Structure 1
Amino acid sequence: MDKYFKRWFGILVLPAVLLFVLVIALPFFTGIVYSFTSWRGTYFAGGTLFQSFVGFDNYIKAFTTGTFTRSLWYTVAYTVVAVIAINLVALAFALMLGSIHRGVGMYRTVFFMPNMLGGLAMGYVWQFIFQVVYTDLIFSPDGLLHLEFMRYMTQDPVKALFALVIMTTWQSAGYMMLIYIGGLNSIPSDLYEAAAIDGAGPVRRFFKVTLPLLMSSITVVLFLTLANSFKLLDQNLALTNGDFDTRMLALQILRTTRDTQPPNYGVAQAQAVIFFLIVAAISLIQVYVTRSREVEF
């Protein structure tokens, strides 16, 4: 079998390599080139590719455009809150299910099911919840509990940020919970027994045993939540459509061609390159920091 794979390895891998090059690598590098030109989507403003070269003008326009910088900081604020919320809820679910012995499979399924919903569909469902259920029914002056902060949550940038966090936490926590469950199951029970014999209580066992040995799972979950939070598009589009200063980076890049006349795809592509560099840098730093804290046993 090994001889077979060694002999035919190149042919077997060739379709995947071609697909990667044609679908990912080639468009990626083409987009970098276009970010330095006055590309208009179907033609170059200067005539040819070389005649439309504008240098770093598109990058300067990206940072001098108020909508892009506002979207950047709004995305950063959302990412910080969402990463904390998703990780805390997912870890709490995992610890809770670890103490349950009956019906664990059912609970896992229930918590995981929201992750199966598409971003657009889920966004419109939650828009109905925030706009009708919360605003007009539950938290209205005549409702069950009058909480003004929970009303009109999609029509204010601060409220919309927390609305996005609530929605994405509900969607993603179940998936991240499964990763944490896998990490918890890999920790030997002997370590907990030894810690209990030494007099360590539940809180001390969590911080001294569970958390250090769970760092490999934390590395994966943090990477996924950071990347997904920065790339959020469908939920932002469906929930607020970017109105009331609630645009995030992905939606800002999408709308740049609509905001400029004629559509300036070069600026949009420059924003996409900046977006990629930010996500890549933050993800690499996060992986390096968390992996350095991983403990082997």
Structure 2
Amino acid sequence: MGQLYEVKFMSKLYRKWFFPFVLPAVAVFLIVVLIPFVIGIFYSFTGWRGSFFLGPNGRTTNPFEAFLGLKNYIAAFKQESFRSAFFFSVKFTVLAVIAVNVVALAQALLVNAIGKAVGIFRATFFLPNLLGGLSLGFIWLFIFNNIFTKVLFGKEGLIPIKFLTYMTDKDPNKLLFAILIMAVWQMSGYMMIIYTTGLANISDDYYEAASIDGANAFQKFFKITIPMLMPSFTIVFFLVLSRCFMLLDQNIALTNNAPQGYRMLAAQVLKVTSDTNGNYGIAQAEAVIFFLVIAAISITQTVILKGKEVEMQ
């Protein structure tokens, strides 16, 4: 009876104080996130210049007089810088999804097979994920410019072969692999945790039955491990996909403020105002397009994961 009374009392207390405690968080979300987001979408259809609007009839302070319809979106897709940033992001994301999954799965299998000191290896692999984007970018900028170029693969280094000199020999493809190496180093440890959890949920009975039937290690891996890890693979796939599209700080740090031709999509949205002489309307249109891409990825992830949950039930 005492426990039942306590549960009822706490439930009544939560209902009483729920809205007073939630209201400040809701107010902050509305003021900082939702309202500016809606205003930003509206501004993407206008000739917004930051401090004024430029419409068909000239300069004005009334946004409705500067309404341009879809002209900003059309102008965004006509920009060479936006198209190159978009396809640069797509190429990087495709490579990153493959590389991060392979490395993370290899780390999970390694950690799962060690047995002893598993926590140390998990923490070591996971540690790069805790670094901030700018600090991570500057760390790898130092590694590429000094360790790779001058020490290991420079003319005065141990091996007289230039491997990666993207800052001295500008090349988007070299930059692409530079960001890829950094992204794999950062993300693989976090994704390893997901794969480790998936491996822990696979019963040893499957492997014992396969051994009795004479299956070798490769057959066990491709016939048991991979199919049983598909829910984990789905989670990792969409996490890497969304995080790679949103990559910003690392790109800016590695490329010295991301000049045109070396930008990811997020950096392009940040830099477009300088390319268009302060046309914030086009910048906002590109930001909305960027949001729609991320939203599509997130919604697809949610739908697929819910489908997996239904199948497992």
Would you call these one fold, judging by a TM-score over 0.5?
yes
Give 1:178 deviation, angstroms: 1.0
Paired letter, 1:31: G
What is the aligned partner in structure 1 of residue 268 from structure 2?
252
State how far apart, in whole Å, the 1-side matches of 2:218 and 2:93 are: 28
SS in 1 for 2:65: coil
Give 1:292 deviation, angstroms: 5.0
SS in 2 for 1:99: helix
State how far apart, in whole Å, the 1-side matches of 2:101 and 2:46 are: 41
- Does the CA-based 8 Å contact 1:139-1:151 persist in structure 2? no
State how far apart, in whole Å, the 2-side matches of 1:199 and 1:17 are: 60
What is the aligned partner in structure 2 of residue 108 from structure 1?
122
Alignment of structure 1 residues 75-86 onto 2, 5 Å: 75-86=89-100
State how far apart, in whole Å, the 1-side matches of 2:210 and 2:11 are: 46
State how far apart, in whole Å, the 2-side matches of 1:191 and 1:113 are: 33
Paired letter, 2:32: V
SS in 2 for 1:74: helix
Give 1:71 deviation, angstroms: 0.5
Give 1:13 deviation, angstroms: 3.5
1:175 aligns with 2:190: yes
Paired letter, 2:69: G
Instruction: Name the stretch that deviates more: 140-149 or 204-213.
Output: 140-149
Instruction: Name the stretch that deviates more: 40-49 or 249-258.
Output: 40-49
What is the aligned partner in structure 2 of residue 266 from structure 1?
281
Higher gyration radius (CA):
2
Would the alpha carbon gap of residues 84 and 185 (structure 1) be closer, same or farther in structure 2, given more than 3 Å must change? same
Give 1:4 deviation, angstroms: 3.8
1:284 aligns with 2:299: yes
Listed as ranges, the gaps of 5+ residues in structure 1 are none
1:66 aligns with 2:80: yes
Alignment of structure 1 residues 134-153 onto 2, 5 Å: 134-152=148-166
Within the candidate set 17, 22, 27, 2:31 is matched to 22
What is the aligned partner in structure 2 of residue 237 from structure 1?
252
What is the aligned partner in structure 2 of residue 296 from structure 1?
312
Paired letter, 1:144: L
Within the candidate set 80, 88, 92, 2:106 is matched to 92
Within the candidate set 142, 161, 172, 1:128 is matched to 142
Deviation string 1:136-159 (CA, Å, 9 cap, x unpaired) is 221023422233342336721000
- Does the CA-based 8 Å contact 1:131-1:153 persist in structure 2? yes
Within the candidate set 156, 162, 174, 2:171 is matched to 156
SS in 2 for 1:50: helix
Root-mean-square deviation (CA, aligned residues, Å) is 2.1
Would the alpha carbon gap of residues 204 and 132 (structure 1) be closer, same or farther in structure 2, given more than 3 Å must change? same
Deviation string 1:98-147 (CA, Å, 9 cap, x unpaired) is 00011111111111111111111111111111112211221023422233
Instruction: Name the stretch that deviates more: 126-135 or 224-233.
Output: 126-135
1:195 aligns with 2:210: yes
* Identity %, equivalent residues: 50
Would the alpha carbon gap of residues 22 and 203 (structure 1) be closer, same or farther in structure 2, given more than 3 Å must change? farther
SS in 1 for 2:115: coil
State how far apart, in whole Å, the 2-side matches of 1:142 and 1:8 are: 69
- Does the CA-based 8 Å contact 2:73-2:286 persist in structure 1? yes
State how far apart, in whole Å, the 1-side matches of 2:100 and 2:167 are: 20
